[in-house]
């Protein structure tokens, strides 16, 4: 949580007043609250002007750079994080062109609940969160293949905070670091699905 809060481009105003809902609704690729809640399997509840409610995963809420599924007049009422994800062992990696710069790649890995399983969430380098689920421990080559398949050439985000080729390179490198860090994580529980 702290690492994601600090991932905001340096500004005490943003650190002190920005809301989780506002960050999700802004739907910028570098939205660290999107990274956090998508990586923890968060579920959004949306309220419609007609009084209806609908729920969907954070990873499906953001549809592109600055785009999301909110309809006219709809409100993002809450984001619920599953208890199992909050207890899970996680690993965080972030790349930026400079120390307090906007995130160019932000990855979060979550181990368990089955021993060796891994949920890896890619953000900032991609226009929307990409969640990869590995029920069995992935090898380095399998992980790399999964990332390259999920984010093909041409799909990496491109703006002044980083070239797409560099974002891809950093994402692959940081994904491998996360795989190694979580490889020997103990299974935290058995009640949730690997991608829950």
Q: Write down the least CB distance from residue 7 to ligand FAD, Å.
A: 7
Nearer to ligand FAD, 16 or 149 (CB): 16
Q: Write down the least CB distance from residue 176 to ligand FAD, Å.
A: 25
Q: How far apart are CA 88 and CA 146, in angstroms?
A: 22
Q: How far apart are CA 142 and CA 186, in angstroms?
A: 21
Binding residues for ligand FAD, rule: CB under 6 A, are 8-9, 11, 14, 18-19, 21-23, 25-26, 28, 30-31, 75-76, 102
Q: Write down the least CB distance from residue 77 to ligand FAD, Å.
A: 7
Nearer to ligand FAD, 38 or 76 (CB): 76
Q: Write down the least CB distance from residue 116 to ligand FAD, Å.
A: 33
Nearer to ligand FAD, 73 or 186 (CB): 73
Q: How far apart are CA 106 and CA 190, in angstroms?
A: 28
Asked if 136 and 112 touch (Cβ cutoff 8 Å), the reply is: no
CA 109, chain centre distance (Å): 9
Nearer to ligand FAD, 30 or 182 (CB): 30
Q: Give the DSSP letter string of 53-84.
A: EEEEEHHHHEEETTEES--TT-EEEEEE--HH
Q: Write down the least CB distance from residue 105 to ligand FAD, Å.
A: 13
Residue whose token pair is 């900032």? 124
CA dihedral sign of residues 6, 196, 110, 133: negative
Nearer to ligand FAD, 30 or 107 (CB): 30
Closest CA to 37 of 22, 47, 51: 22
Peptide bond into 92 cis (omega under 30): no
Q: Write down the least CB distance from residue 90 to ligand FAD, Å.
A: 20
Nearer to ligand FAD, 75 or 136 (CB): 75
């Amino acid at each position: 949580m702290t690492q994601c809060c600090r991932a905001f481009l340096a500004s005490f105003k943003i650190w002190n007043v920005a809301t989780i809902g506002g960050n999700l609704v802004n739907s910028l690729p570098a939205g660290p609250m999107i990274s956090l809640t998508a990586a923890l399997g968060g579920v959004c509840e949306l309220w419609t002007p007609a009084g209806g409610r609908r729920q969907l995963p954070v990873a499906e809420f953001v549809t592109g750079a600055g785009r999301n599924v909110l309809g006219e007049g709809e409100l993002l009422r809450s984001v619920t994080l599953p208890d199992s994800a909050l207890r899970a062992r996680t690993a965080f990696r972030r790349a930026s062109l400079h120390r307090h710069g906007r995130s160019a790649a932000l990855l979060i890995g979550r181990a368990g609940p089955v021993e060796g399983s891994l949920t890896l969430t890619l953000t900032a380098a991609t226009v929307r969160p990409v969640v990869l689920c590995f029920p069995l421990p992935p090898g380095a080559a399998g992980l790399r293949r999964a990332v390259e398949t999920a984010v093909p050439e041409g799909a990496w985000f491109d703006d002044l905070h980083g070239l797409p080729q560099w974002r891809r390179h950093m994402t692959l490198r940081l994904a491998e670091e996360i795989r190694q860090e979580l490889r020997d994580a103990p299974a935290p529980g058995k009640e949730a699905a690997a991608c829950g």
